Each structure stands twice: as C-alpha cells, then as structure tokens.
Amino acid sequence: MLLSPVVCSCHSYKYIFLNFVLAPDSEAFILISIFSSDCDAHKKMVELCEKMQVALQAQNVGDLVQVVGQLAQVIERQQDWIPRITTEMNLLQPLLVTLPEIDFEGRKDVMTLFANICRSQTGIAGGSSSSTAPSSAGGGATSAGPPVNSEAEYTPFEQYVVSQKLIPLIAERYARSPEISLNYGIVLRELCRCPGVNKHALDEKIIYQLFEIARTSDNFDLASDAFLSVKELLCRAKQLSARWILANFDEFFRNYHDILLSTYSEHNAQEDLYICQRQSLKLLSDMLLDRQFMQIMLQYINSEEYLKVHMTFLRSSSKTIQFEAFHVFKIFAANPNKPRKITIILHQNRDRLVDFLDTFLIPDRQQDQQFIQDKNTVIDKLRRLQHPDTVAAPPAPAPTSGGGAPAAPSAGAGNPPPTATAAAPAPAANQSAPPPAAANAPLSSSI
C-alpha cells in the first residue's frame, strides 16, 4: 500500500514518513507501531502528572494515592519525565508535606516512587522501598561511591532536592511524626543514594539530629531507623563522607562520643543504652579499619582521650561491648608511630593489660580465629612496649659540679605522675568482676 506524506510529533520526538510502501513485516510498519506506543505513553504521563498536581493543590488524598500508585509503576520506564515531575512541576516537595495524610498502602506507593526516581539517577535498576540499607556498614563491603560533587557539579535532580530543601524538611518531620518516621527515613536514604544529596545532607549536619534520635528515642523502631540512616550517610559514599569528617573532625567525634557512646542516659533503659553503644562501637571500628577512612583513623588514634574511652569499654559488663571496643583498642596498640602520651598510658598499664587480655573473652570467642590472632598480636605489642624516655634517653650525664643528680623531667612534659598517686578510673558500677590478676588494680587510662 502507498502511504501518503505524514508528519507526526510527540513530546521530543518527530518522525516524517513519505510515500512508504508497507509490507506486513516492513521496518516502516514496525517503526510506526513503536511511535504510536510512544505517543500513548506520553499522553499517559501528561495525564498522570496533571492529575497529581490537581490532587495536591486540592488536597484530595484519595485521588492522590491512586495517581501516585500508577506513576510509581510507569516512571521506571519513563525516566525522561523525571525533570518534568521535579524541576518543572515540583510534585515531590508537596508530596512529602502531604505524607502524614496518606494511608499505609498509599505511603508504600510514595516510597516506591521515590525509590524508582532516585535509583534511576544512580544507575540502580529495580527500585524498591523495601531495600534501603547499605550492603554493609563497613569493612570495605560498601562501595566507595562516585566522586564527591561540589555544588557546581550537582545533577539537575540533586539541585532540585537542594533548592526545595527536601533534606531539612525530612529531618524536621523525622522525629516530629513518629507514626510515619520510618517512611521519612526510607525517603532520606533513597535520596542519599545520589552523592550530591549525600554531601548536602552532611553539610546540613542532620546527622547530629539522627545521633540524638538514635540515642534518646524511647521508640525502638525509630531509634533503629535513625541509626540505619546514620550508617547510610557515612558508608554509602565513603570517599565523600571521609572528606566531610576530616573537615569537621573535632565536632563530629565530640558528638559521636558525647551522644552515641555516652555511658549514661536519663531517658533510656539500660538495654536501649547497650544497643546504641554496641552499634556505635561496631560502626566506629568498621570505619577506622576501612582504607577509605585511613586519614581519619590516623588522626583518631593520636588522641589519648579516645584511648581512655575504649580502655573503659574493655571493662564493660557486656561481652559484646568488650568485643567491639577491642577492635578499636587494637588499632591504638598496634600503631607503630604512637604519640608520646599514648605510649605512656599503654606502658603504665602494660602488665595489667597483658594479664587481662590473656583470658579476655575466653571461652566466648575461643573459636574466633581472627579474634585470637588479633589479641595475640596486641599482647605481643604490649609486651615489647617500652617507655618513651627509656627508648630515647641518651647516656646519663656526669654529675654536676655541685654533686647533684640531674633533675627529673616534669610531669607536665607528658610523664606519668608518681605511681602512688596515679589516678585510676573506678570500675564500672555494673562490672561483674574485675580484670584477671588485677582485682585491686583496675585498668588505668590516666597519665
């Protein structure tokens, strides 16, 4: 058959067909069929976006839920419409504001919509709101992520999220609306799959709000979700988060220690306190042992105050806390370039530490060969440890003309005070038993 000249346009596509003779299986026939399908999809997307905009403006939750459910299913195949939904029509920001009014099933569709949009921006297929955590909190299992974005390098979608203040909006409603906090947590983690959004979230310092929720919330699910979001921010794009932590080192670890690793809380039961400490110690050790965080590790293990914290956790009544604290303590002990004050603390406690570690977590971890190997390495390092003055001291000078001995270095120069007056922290109140061979001399981390 002879096809008359035809000019068709749809969305950004334009096809011109002139005088084609169509055979039943001709390429032109197939092309026209595909074009017809594209036109139908375009009309469907126009209709859905307009309906969603009207439903949001009229606050018609019933219609909104229906449209979001349909849009969530088709957006994965119509990714070129994402700029229209975000930048042009701004449908996501009012959708987040309306989230508390949407029922449980409708919120699931909202989560799927955000998942499909965010994952399309990072090249991850098959968006699903049920899979929202990083593959691992540390140990190198999680990808280092794409290169760090500066503000000038934001993608259009990331720029939309930043300009519409979606991250502060989520953070503000996260704790205020506990009945739907888990939904806001999912959206936060999906958005942070985009490196520019992750960087923006860190710059907004919402991580400290998440610290507080994880530590003080009496809602276990909310506290767990907040900590999951903390791990996502720190471990999704490790190169990015490592740079941010280095730039905010003192503030970050002051909050990390004061909030997440605090040993006292007037809000939480002891069990909740234990869970927060265990998770926080595990995350900390995973980060410090990860190559992406090496510069952070080198700076962290130069602090005698942090060493004291983990020596205290070694005496915890919880064997799990002890185990996680050991994985941080071993980095201090194995450091070949220990600062003077770190060496003095470890040397002062060397014998008691060795006696304590000889039977540490036996028989609980007796089958853990990696732990046994690490522990033996730490014990060997401690046994070989010498006081810095002994190592570096030159031959003793001749007596002065007055016959007096050389004056001893002052304690202010970093030397330990007299043993009889050395301050030692009291054992933990809930400590079941003192360390072996040290019943009357608990481990001391004081100089």
Weakest mean pLDDT among 93-97, 207-211, 424-428: 424-428
- Split at pLDDT 50, 70, 90, the class of 77 is confident
CA distance 298 to 311: 18
pLDDT at 417 over 50: no
pLDDT at 442: 42
Q: What is the pLDDT of residues 26-49, one digit of tens each?
A: 555 444 444 445 677 778 888 999
pLDDT at 43: 84
Average model confidence (pLDDT) for the chain?
79
Tokens of 262: 């605090």
- Identity of residue 90: N
The H-or-E segment that residue 10 falls in is strand 6-10
- Split at pLDDT 50, 70, 90, the class of 150 is low
CA distance 248 to 38: 50
Average pLDDT rounded to a whole number, residues 298-314? 97
Q: What is the pLDDT of residues 229-288, one digit of tens each?
A: 999 999 999 999 999 999 999 999 999 999 999 876 555 556 778 899 999 999 999 999
Report the share of the chain in percent with pLDDT over 70.
70
Q: Cβ contacts of residue 378 below 8 Å, gap of 6+?
A: 329, 330, 333, 334, 357
- Identity of residue 98: T
pLDDT at 286: 97
**More confident call, 407 vs 443:** 443
**More confident call, 116 vs 429:** 116
- Identity of residue 321: I
Find which of 18-27, 188-197, 402-411 is predicted with most confidence, using mean pLDDT: 188-197
pLDDT at 366: 85
pLDDT at 262: 86
Cβ count within 10 A of residue 425: 14
- Split at pLDDT 50, 70, 90, the class of 424 is very low
Q: 């032109």: which residue's tokens?
A: 28
CA distance 209 to 259: 10
Q: What is the pLDDT of residues 103-113, one digit of tens each?
A: 999 999 999 99
Weakest mean pLDDT among 49-63, 175-189, 273-287, 395-409: 395-409
Q: Cβ contacts of residue 406 below 8 Å, gap of 6+?
A: 396, 397, 400
Tokens of 280: 């926080």
pLDDT at 264: 61
Give pTM, 2 decimals: 0.74
- Split at pLDDT 50, 70, 90, the class of 118 is very high
CA distance 347 to 67: 68
pLDDT at 287: 98
Q: What is the pLDDT of residues 344-403, one digit of tens each?
A: 999 999 999 999 999 999 888 989 999 999 999 999 999 999 988 876 555 555 554 444
pLDDT at 15 over 50: no
| C-alpha torsion angle, residues 37, 38, 44, 47 (rounded to 10) | -140
